[in-house]
Amino acid sequence: MRAFLYQFDFALRSLLRRKVKNFSILLLFSLIVFLFSAVDFLMGSLYQQAMTALQFQPEIIIQNLKAGRQLPVPLAWAEKIRTITGVRKVVPRVWGYYFDRYTGANYTIVGLDREMVKGLGVPRELLPLREREVLVGEGIMEGRQLQVGKRLQLERPDEVPVDFTVKGTFRSRVSLWTYDVVAMTEEAARYLFDLADDEAWDLAVYVPNPVEVAKVGEKILRRIPGARLIAKDQLIRTYGTSYGFRSGLMIAVSISCLLAFFILAYDRAAGLSREEQMEIAVLKALGWETRDVIRTTMLQSLILSLTGFLIGLIAAYIHVFILGAPALRIAFTGWSALYPTHPLPPVVDLTKVMSLMFLTVIPYVAVGIVPVWRSAIIDPEVVFRG
């Protein structure tokens, strides 16, 4: 144990003697780990938020598509679907997107029903709403500088202004989904979107038995051939693809990080500098065994790589979960989107963290063994003579 502590102390002092070079390696190593970890943390948290929001989604969503464009759904479709065996209920939904020219952002206008109230997490004390009362998400309150009791003016498709009174604001567990929401009565939403009384924007079909979802979907298509069906499982797979390793940004970051690491590892494996060779020769001349030299060099690589890994990992955690990912946010939000300013809930996959450490720290330590061994087996006198 005493010998190990001496070798550890020597390895640490050796790293400090070459401060500029080792600091550069440490900085690059930390940057590689930071980029990969930050993107992975952000995508993991967004995926978790999406999965939480999907818990309140119906098993099947019915839309009306004509020539690739979504049109209102006739309420007569709901009557045809309600009689299908396996369907618990069908809820016509009135909602849509509204572009606000004052802030340049898109709002989500929602006509509240019982399921919408549950999914959005609207507090009971704010209900019920009157015809011209609205509940506004935090992002709109900040963007339009609104206050409770103040007026919010929106426009119909024919540019007729409609005034609403802000009754309150709310925030759910999934702030990404409610930050830009304006909730109002279903009648007010119909009037704002100029939607007829016998139409809805889509239909929410609730199927209590997940095994029957596919069969219910087939029956719906037989009764309504032109309908478009979106199953909850399809949404889950879509989010998994968007926020998983198959996403374009994740692939680009992964390839960039791997290339940078391979360059770093290649430089390490290519050979030792003259100063490092002289240091090994001095140790051999003082009586050190080859295995002791290799062990000390491995300790240097381990200290350097593990320190860089921890710095990059901690910096990524702080950047995403404490600061709110300011450097990466623009890559995940559109030009007309309202994005929450508060941090995301922490989601850390320890399996991925350990895998990243295995793919970075272990190879960096391993690639340095061969050049050190080659230098250690050379007679010190040959090295001194140059």
| Phi-psi domain of 93 (left: phi exceeds 0; alpha: psi -120 through 50; beta: other) | beta
Helix (H, G, I), strand (E, B) or coil at 321: helix
Same domain, 270 and 235: no
Q: Do the beta carbons of residue 112 and residue 122 sit within 8 Å? A: yes
Using CA atoms, how far residue 363 sits from 28, 61, 367, in Å, is 15, 49, 6
Nearest CA to 206 out of 110, 86, 96, 95 is that of 86
- CA–CA distance, 290 with 298 (Å, rounded to integer): 12
For the chain, the domain total comes to 2
Q: Do the beta carbons of residue 227 and residue 76 sit within 8 Å? A: no
Angle between helical axes of 290-317 and 19-54 (0-180°, round to 10): 40
R_g of the chain, CA atoms, integer Å: 30
Domain boundary among 241, 258, 289: 241
Query: DSSP class of residue 185?
Result: E
Same domain, 221 and 281: no
- CA–CA distance, 186 with 194 (Å, rounded to integer): 12
Q: Which two tokens stand for residue 315?
A: 């910096």
The torsion angles phi and psi of 170, rounded to 5 degrees, stand at -150, 165
Low-confidence ranges of the chain (pLDDT < 70): 1, 3-4, 6, 115, 119, 173-176, 244-251, 253, 264, 266-274, 329-343, 379-386
Helix (H, G, I), strand (E, B) or coil at 112: strand
Same domain, 20 and 123: no
User: Residue 35: which H helix or E strand, with range?
Assistant: helix 19-54
Same domain, 155 and 279: no
Same domain, 282 and 263: yes
User: Mind giving me the DSSP string for 131-184?
Assistant: TTEEEEEHHHHHHTT--TT-EEEEE-TT--EEEEEEEEEE--S-HHHHTTEEEE
Q: Which two tokens stand for residue 200?
A: 């809805």
- CA–CA distance, 140 with 159 (Å, rounded to integer): 20
Same domain, 33 and 136: no
Same domain, 129 and 159: yes
Domain boundary among 209, 241, 273: 241
Q: Which two tokens stand for residue 141?
A: 């309150």
Given CA atoms 364, 369, 374, 376 in this order, what sign does their dihedral have? Answer: positive
Nearest CA to 200 out of 69, 91, 120 is that of 91
Residues 6+ apart with CB under 8 A from 164: 132, 133, 134, 151, 152, 153, 154, 182, 184, 188
Give the other-Cβ count within 10 Å of 98's Cβ: 15
Q: Which two tokens stand for residue 111?
A: 């006509």
- CA–CA distance, 347 with 44 (Å, rounded to integer): 6
pLDDT score, position 224: 93
- Residue 236: give the domain boundaries: 58-241
Query: DSSP class of residue 101?
Result: T
Same domain, 160 and 309: no
Same domain, 236 and 340: no
pLDDT, tens digit (0-9, with 9 covering 90-100), for 85-106: 999 999 999 999 998 887 788 8
- CA–CA distance, 107 with 164 (Å, rounded to integer): 15
Domain boundary among 186, 212, 241: 241
